[in-house]
Copies of this chain bind each other. A is one copy, B any other.
């Protein structure tokens, strides 16, 4: 199996190095041969080549069996709204070119972290949500620009029936293997793409009579996720709503630093933490590598169908947490100082 390592920007570099080490260990333990290559994306790619996703990187992605990804982003561009070339363009192009239309974000709290969240433990205990975020459509990829001498900006959100259908099917299929509940999130009382979304999900639902379906508005969902996270099993939603809701839901898992994701679709799968480049802590060696490690576990499971290997990684994370080890983001006032580890030590 050939794995491409794409660390990208900020703490992406630090945590992906740890994720790779875990893959290495699994190969040894289970007698696999994993070969690796590296590729550039984001700000580091712009600095080196002028291009946030050089053709060479894309070629390497296409040829690999799976990609372990870090993050993209840099404050330099965030503070300059008129920048023409941006790290995020590399990420979006990768998603589009590889046809990664389904982004799976499992939100599950390790029992050991019950106290790490800002939400009350009795509200959280047992929460277990699997998000399916559509990843190659919506306002992210529609035409955008300026008119009236630059005084008006516009973005077009778009969805076709086909795009909604394929992500809905993936979500329903997953619901069948879980608690058989699916919540589709939209804003159908205002937005036309949401009305198409709801129409299509209602239709696909007919093929899954064993799955209980509800439709929620995105605003109500943002509230319910915090008020009663256990009411959700599988959640399927559009690209922008998924971006917002999954970041919010990270608080259910105690910290963004715990959340892995899988982007899958037509070809090579891409596995990445959802935390982003976090330049405020870059280079300090304190970033939580568990999201990258858990992304490696998803990679083993989904792209390589190596269930035991994936389980071994998850168990290892659990054990380390049980032994009381924490990175800064998941530590609390009760954590003894000698149990608070940096990125490499946690790995």
Residues in chain A within 8 A of chain B (CB atoms): 73, 77-79, 81-82, 86, 88, 92, 118-120, 123, 139-140, 142, 144-146, 148, 151-162, 187-199, 202, 215, 218-220, 222-223, 225-228, 240-241, 243-248, 250-251, 256, 276
Q: A240 to B160, alpha carbons, bound, how many Å? A: 21
Is B78 in contact with A189, judged by CB distance below 8 angstroms? yes
* Distance from A36 Cβ to chain B, minimum over Cβ atoms (Å): 29
What 6 additional pairs, Cβ within 8 angstroms, besides A119-B119, A222-B248? A78-B215, A118-B228, A142-B154, A151-B161, A151-B162, A157-B157
Is B248 in contact with A81, judged by CB distance below 8 angstroms? no
* Distance from A220 Cβ to chain B, minimum over Cβ atoms (Å): 6
Q: A92 to B28, alpha carbons, bound, how many Å? A: 61
Is A250 in contact with B228, judged by CB distance below 8 angstroms? no
Residues on the B chain within 8 Å of A73, using CB: 189
* Distance from A103 Cβ to chain B, minimum over Cβ atoms (Å): 13
Interface of A is mostly: helix
Instruction: List the B residue with the shortest CB-CB distance to A255.
Output: B227
18 contacts between A and B (CB under 8 A): A81-B188, A81-B198, A81-B202, A88-B190, A119-B226, A139-B190, A139-B191, A144-B192, A144-B193, A151-B161, A152-B158, A152-B196, A153-B197, A154-B157, A157-B157, A187-B240, A187-B243, A219-B243
Q: A82 to B196, alpha carbons, bound, how many Å? A: 9
Within the complex, which residue of B119, B154, B276 is in contact with A156, where a contact is CB–CB below 8 Å?
B154
Contact of A77 with B222 at beta-carbon distance under 8 Å, contacts A158-B153, A199-B82 already known: no
Q: A86 to B187, alpha carbons, bound, how many Å? A: 13
Contact of A189 with B155 at beta-carbon distance under 8 Å, contacts A118-B228, A226-B248, A247-B222 already known: no
Q: A241 to B155, alpha carbons, bound, how many Å? A: 15
Instruction: List the B residue with the shortest CB-CB distance to A157.
Output: B155
Q: A191 to B225, alpha carbons, bound, how many Å? A: 25
Is B244 in contact with A118, judged by CB distance below 8 angstroms? no
Q: A151 to B82, alpha carbons, bound, how many Å? A: 34
Is A226 in contact with B199, judged by CB distance below 8 angstroms? no
Residues on the B chain within 8 Å of A248, using CB: 219, 222-223, 225-226, 248
Q: A158 to B241, alpha carbons, bound, how many Å? A: 18
Q: A151 to B191, alpha carbons, bound, how many Å? A: 15
Is B81 in contact with A196, judged by CB distance below 8 angstroms? yes
Is A195 in contact with B153, judged by CB distance below 8 angstroms? yes
Residues on the B chain within 8 Å of A162, using CB: 151
Contact of A218 with B199 at beta-carbon distance under 8 Å, contacts A118-B227, A153-B192, A251-B226 already known: no
Is A156 in contact with B155, judged by CB distance below 8 angstroms? yes
Q: A307 to B240, alpha carbons, bound, how many Å? A: 41
* Distance from A76 Cβ to chain B, minimum over Cβ atoms (Å): 12
Question: Most B CB atoms within 10 A — which of A194, A240, A256?
Answer: A240
